[in-house]
Copies of this chain bind each other. A is one copy, B any other.
Amino acid sequence: MSNSLNPAYNRDNISMSVIRRLPRYYRYLNELQINGISKISSKELSQTMGFTASQIRQDFNCFGGFGQQGYGYNVSQLRDAIGEILDVGANKKCIMIGAGNLGKALLSINFERLGFNLLKVFDNDPDIIGTEIKNFKISSCEDLADFCTNQKIEMAIICVPSSAVKELANTLYENNVKAFWNFSHFDISLIYSDVKEESVHLNDSLMALGFMI
């Protein structure tokens, strides 16, 4: 059995449910590798992660045969394969708009490791423009359009108030930015149907917890 990506595998027919589990697998496998564990079975993994062994095998089989019957999965091989699927080496060019508290907090993320290359941070507050945060000199939003076009920016991190997002999304879209990590409540994909959008709704998350309690 080869331990390479299944040639029949097609990004388009992988369900969102599976995709959302991939980063989690990647994280756990990384951890295992760091701890020097070279082999793991779906059963062992299920106990650590809280998924069923069956689901784990199903998930891995969307992509190809990484396992070996009677043995299990080779940790580093599997980790690398999932990393490849998630495109963590892609270094996709991105920018951040909004350098308020949330934007600042997100600058602690190790973007490189997750497949992104954060090039610039923008804000429209004159008091913030020009200041430096985590090695980023904050730029004015006036320069946004040109920068996106010239640098061929692929993704934008939106950390501005919802009320400002409609206009902002328009500028970005016209300058060919079609992917968004969106922390506002304004739904960009409802207006531009061909964008990739991942929204983080912190308020919604907290309210869901409120319900559960």
Contacts and interface: CB of A to CB of B under 8 A. Distances in A.
Contact of A85 (B11, B20, B107, B211): B211
Copy tally for this chain in the complex stands at 2
B116 A105 contact: no
Contacts of A86: 207, 210-211
Interface in A94-137: 100-102, 104-109, 111, 114-116
A1 interface: no
Interface string A195-213: 0101011111111111111
Where chain A touches its partner, the secondary structure class is: helix
B88 A210 contact: yes
A70 interface: no
Contacts of A27: 185, 203-204
A204 B19 CA distance: 10
Contacts of A24: 201, 204
Contacts of A190: 50
Given A50-B187, A185-B27, A209 B179 contact: yes
A90 interface: yes
24 contacts: A19-B208, A23-B207, A23-B208, A24-B204, A26-B207, A27-B203, A50-B190, A86-B207, A87-B210, A87-B213, A101-B105, A104-B104, A104-B105, A109-B202, A109-B203, A111-B206, A114-B210, A115-B207, A154-B213, A155-B209, A155-B213, A181-B205, A198-B205, A198-B212
Given A85-B211, A87-B213, A198-B208, 19 more contacts: A22-B208, A23-B203, A26-B207, A27-B203, A50-B187, A50-B190, A87-B211, A90-B210, A109-B203, A114-B203, A115-B207, A154-B213, A155-B209, A179-B209, A179-B213, A181-B205, A181-B206, A198-B205, A198-B209
Interface of A: 11, 19-20, 22-24, 26-27, 50, 85-88, 90, 92, 100-102, 104-109, 111, 114-116, 154-155, 179, 181, 185, 187, 190, 196, 198, 200-213
